Amino acid sequence: MSRHVAIITDSTAYLPQRAMERHGITAVPLTVIVDGQAMEEGTEISARSLAQALQKRRPVTTSRPSPEVFAETYRAAAEAGADSVISLHLSSELSGTYDAAVLAAKDAPVPVRVVDTGMIAMALGFCALAAAETVEAGGTVDEAVAAAEKRAASTSAYFYVDTLDYLRRGGRIGAAQALLGSALAVKPLLELNGGRIEPLEKVRTASKAIARLEEIAVERAGSSPVDIAVHHLAAQERASALADRLGERVPGLAELHVSEVGAVIGAHTGPGLLGVVVSPR
């Protein structure tokens, strides 16, 4: 009798819909609260609506899924035939999502392995894909978790933001607070480090910062097989141009994804975000 392992992640993975359908991955939505109105990311609020709310300086906060939402998701997976679940989530340094999943897993009808990937956006998405592909190839739960953790350990994520103000307001900036004193004079480059958003470099202009982001991604990619994702918020032109240049410059490029981030990341980075995820295979 073949075993069925369900792969679950959360909405901050920003996986392409076709990839989720192809691999049967389920994403549990986080919540965005605008002017006191709670909306599910991905279904009830678009990135465009979120960007407009931020530009109008409307109050925006985010919230993790409740343990009850995870519990229902795990029950649904079991009812659909899963005999075990791997639940992979964004960094516990950035959200309580992992903790909520752990609480729900205790009473799930099937065994649930909850993984704090330390990642976010397609850095998390690539981990979910690695687990799904391992299961599809006949791998065990332990092997799939190991594949996801290996992918996380080798994946890098870099971000350009127009301003640190949104990260400061959301309390997600970590050591990057050291940049706040000179934030008006610089365009910051940030990285995901130890599950936290940390300062990487300070660059004087937006054009130089984006050029430097490109150089860092090319250097990190090297010449071995690698997947890359370019994320943005309200900066489609910039993102497409950056993706085109990376496509020309990265010799080992396997898959290239370009997508707008959802409302949860957008609420903390603000419009103008550019992100690059480099994930060696």
Q: How far is CA 96 from CA 14, 63, 84, 89, in A?
A: 18, 8, 23, 10
pTM of the predicted model over 0.85: yes
What is the CB neighbour count within 10 angstroms for residue 85? 26
Quickly list H helices, 179-229.
Answer: 206-221
Taking the domain 5-30+65-153, which CATH number applies?
3.40.50.10170
DSSP secondary-structure letter at 179? G
Which tens digit of pLDDT belongs to each residue from 85-94?
Answer: 999 999 999 9
> Of 279 and 268, which is predicted with more confidence?
279
User: Which three-class secondary structure state does DSSP give residue 231?
Assistant: strand
- Would you state the pLDDT for residue 169? 66
Contact (CB, 8 A) for 122 and 12: no
Res. 229: pLDDT tops 90? yes
Which tens digit of pLDDT belongs to each residue from 32-87?
Answer: 888 888 988 877 887 778 888 888 888 888 899 999 999 999 999 999 999 999 99
- Strands 31-34 and 60-63, how do they pair? antiparallel
Which tens digit of pLDDT belongs to each residue from 197-221?
Answer: 888 888 888 899 999 999 999 999 9
How many Å apart are CA 119 and CA 236, to the nearest integer? 23
Query: pLDDT tier at 177 (50, 70, 90 boundaries)?
Result: low
Which tens digit of pLDDT belongs to each residue from 258-268?
Answer: 998 988 888 88
- Would you state the pLDDT for residue 184? 54
Question: Mean pLDDT across the stretch 118-141?
Answer: 96
- Would you state the pLDDT for residue 2? 43
- Would you state the pLDDT for residue 198? 84
How many Å apart are CA 281 and CA 278, to the nearest integer? 10
Res. 123: pLDDT tops 50? yes
Question: Which residues have CB under 8 Å from 255's CB, separation 6+?
Answer: 227, 228
- Architecture of the structural domain at 156-280: 2-Layer Sandwich (3.30)
Q: Which strand (E) or helix (H) includes residue 98?
A: helix 97-105
- Between the two ends of the chain, the Cα-to-Cα distance in Å is 31
Q: How far is CA 153 from CA 1, 70, 82, 186, in A?
A: 33, 26, 27, 30
- Strands 156-160 and 25-28, how do they pair? unpaired
38: its two tokens: 């709670």
The full set of domain ranges for the chain reads 5-30+65-153, 156-280
Return the half-sphere exposure (C-beta side, CA atoms, 13 A cut-off) of residue 257: 25
Q: Which of 148, 100, 96, 92 is nearest to 120 (CA)?
A: 92
Average confidence score pLDDT of the chain? 90
User: Which three-class secondary structure state does DSSP give residue 280?
Assistant: strand
How many Å apart are CA 117 and CA 114, to the nearest integer? 9
Which tens digit of pLDDT belongs to each residue from 130-158?
Answer: 999 999 999 999 999 999 999 999 999 99
Query: pLDDT tier at 4 (50, 70, 90 boundaries)?
Result: very high
Residues of the chain with pLDDT > 90: what percent? 66
Question: Mean pLDDT across the stretch 243-261?
Answer: 95
Res. 187: pLDDT tops 90? no
Residues of the chain with pLDDT > 70: what percent? 92
